[in-house]
Structure 1
């Protein structure tokens, strides 16, 4: 009985050891298969987005640089965060308290960077639709690159400050040896809720409402002058349709983000501490990470350039000389 009890502990020699996580075999296999598939799809699709935008010159636009940054953060979720959570569904945490804290630091940095990228994308679409004449001068590749770097640097500094208690004393939230838990107290969780969720979402919604108002007014103006439309105006209309399609697509990305992250922030919304356990496949954590798998799926359905690029990549056409100049738009 004592031997059996020892086998059920993460560290049998310690009195403070956690019990080894156990689930029914069939349930475990189903969870492993499902989550491993999600992780593989997330990595594959986001890698295709990154290769597409990086390789094809036609895709080197400020908007796509922001999408590239978002794809990098989504790739890191599938490559670093999801595998750790899969491994520790049926295993104890043997990597120590320091790596546990660093794991959550990386998790939070990636999440913050993703949100910041979505805000930048919304600003980009707002300028493209509401101030198209000055878009090329206001939004340049250099400025887009600088904004991307700033959003990642800000995410790093912000998360260091938010998790400083856990960085000073790793493992402070663990109730026993062999688990990896971080508990964000209500005050820190409220700050995180405001700056990582509420404020960015409000900014995004306000920008998209303004875009909607402008588009409706422009549509009415074009209908009233349709008889006098010139070839030049038709060309401008085609450009406007492309911009609106991009805005709708990125708006859909925001809606999916809200759906995936609302359950994660629910404890803070009801006044509770947020507890995150790397050794459990918590629904709200995986739903938040699942957002990283859905973003490239949305691109595949709404962006013809992504489908064309994906075809060229999968058929190894990008290995041919001059393939970077291929027409994918």
Structure 2
């Protein structure tokens, strides 16, 4: 074995081999992952600062978006590990390997949980608008989001309970291998993919049906006064726009999630040792970069907030009370 082919050249008898790829390929993958990571962290930090700083943006829906942005920032940071293992070697030790997988499961689970919360929020807003403010309060949303984060932590610990002995399943130095049994894979598939996706699809189908019915009702002639009718149109348009925006976020998430789980379930033993797997994981991670771009495209308040942040007007006293809506 040549020295350049080993992850740890000094460990000739126990080191893993690097992937058989040119330096240009490794550099290209590293630069791609680095770019996605930096953009993901920067854009989602802008969302976090905007929602946290400006009081006008403190509402239940935006608090869910804040939680989603926080998980997306963590995704961007995890991408740095992917970038530094583009050659197929794990250089950070067995303890960090386990920690990496725990964080990966927590963040993946929480991303799915945030999508479920978004779907429930839009379902109540569209299908039961009269009781939305009483059912979906900021305090309740904060409690639900906190419980979701705690549940994801416990879920990761339970799912990886047989892997907490560092390096237990490594066959050579430079590997980061986590194994789970068939039961764990089935549980993960049911609770992180099948049930959440089913809930999201059912809720958004219901939202779509109600939105179509409301649009048809607004277009049909009615004896109500013109002022009342225009007020109804404004209310419905704002809710429909929010439903469409978050619907796009959910659809993009599902498109990026399915390939990720196909790889995890079929090639879990070598999740860090193939270039193709790295690209599929990057597709899932790239979703975290797309979310703030979708917000910026649909939400004028985010564009205004980013303008205030970038121009450093946020440092002025009273900037938290700025009008963005």
TM-score (norm 2): 0.93
Deviates more, 1:287-296 or 1:229-238: 229-238
Aligned to 1:164: 161
Paired position in structure 2 for 1:23: 21
Q: Which residue of 1 aligns with 2:235?
A: 239
Cα distance in 2 for partners of 1:317, 1:35 equals 32
Assess if the C-alpha contact under 8 Å between 1:88 and 1:280 holds in 2.
no
Q: 2:320 aligns with which of 311, 320, 324?
A: 324
| Residues 1:294 and 1:135: Cα distance change in structure 2 (over 3 Å) | same
- Note closer, same or farther for the CA distance 1:202–1:7 as it changes in structure 2 (3 Å cut): closer
Unaligned regions of 5+ residues in structure 2, if any?
Answer: none
Which residue of structure 1 aligns with residue 31 of structure 2?
33
Cα distance in 1 for partners of 2:139, 2:17 equals 53
- Within 1, Cα distance between the matches of 2:260 and 2:173? 25
1:181 counterpart residue number? 177
Relative to structure 1, is the Cα distance of residues 24 and 14 closer, same or farther in structure 2, using a 3 angstrom cutoff?
Answer: closer
Which has the higher mean CA deviation after the structures are superposed, 289-298 or 169-178? 169-178
Cα distance, 1:221 vs structure 2: 2.0
- The 5 Å alignment of 1:285-296 reads 285-296=281-292
Alignment partners' CA distance in 2, 1:261 and 1:23: 27
> How far apart, in 1, do the equivalents of 2:13 and 2:160 lie?
28
For residues 7-156 of structure 1, what are the structure 2 equivalents within 5 Å? 8-10=6-8, 12-13=10-11, 15-21=13-19, 23-79=21-77, 81-90=78-87, 92-156=89-153
Number of aligned pairs? Answer: 323
Task: Tell whether the 8 Å contact from 2:63 to 2:142 is kept in structure 1 after alignment.
Answer: yes
Taking a change above 3 Å as real, the CA distance of residues 89 and 273 of structure 1, as seen in their structure-2 partners, is closer
CA contact (8 A) 1:261 1:284 kept: no
Offset of 1:24 from its aligned partner? 1.2
- Rounded to whole Å, the distance in 2 between the matches of 1:297 and 1:257 is 13
Q: Does 1:313 align with 2:301?
A: no
- Change in 2 beyond 3 A, CA 1:276/1:127: farther
Asked if the contact 2:18/2:89 (under 8 Å) is kept, the reply is: yes
Question: For 1:290 and 1:185, how far apart are their aligned partners in 2?
Answer: 29
Tell me whether 55-64 or 254-263 shows the greater mean CA deviation: 254-263
For 2:257 and 2:202, the matched residues in 1 are separated by: 19
The secondary structure found in structure 1 opposite 2:269 is strand
| Residue pair 1:130, 1:214 contacting (<8 A) in 2 also | yes
DSSP 3-state at the match of 1:257? helix
Q: Structure 1 runs of 4+ off > 6 angstroms?
A: none
| Secondary structure at 2:29 match in 1 | helix
Q: Which residue of 2 is the match for residue 274 of structure 1?
A: 268
CA distance in 1, matches of 2:270, 2:115: 24
Q: How does 1:260-271 map to 2 (within 5 A)?
A: 260-267=256-263
Contact 1:185 1:274 in 2 (8 A): no
1:85-141 alpha-carbon deviations (Å, 9 max, x no partner):
111223732322121011110011011011101101110000000101000000111
Distance 2:270 2:145 in 1: 28
8 Å Cα contact 1:183/1:273 also seen in 2: no
Query: Aligned partners of 2:200, 2:44: CA distance in 1, in Å?
Result: 23
With over 3 angstroms needed to count, the CA separation of the structure-2 counterparts of 1:15 and 1:229, relative to structure 1, is farther
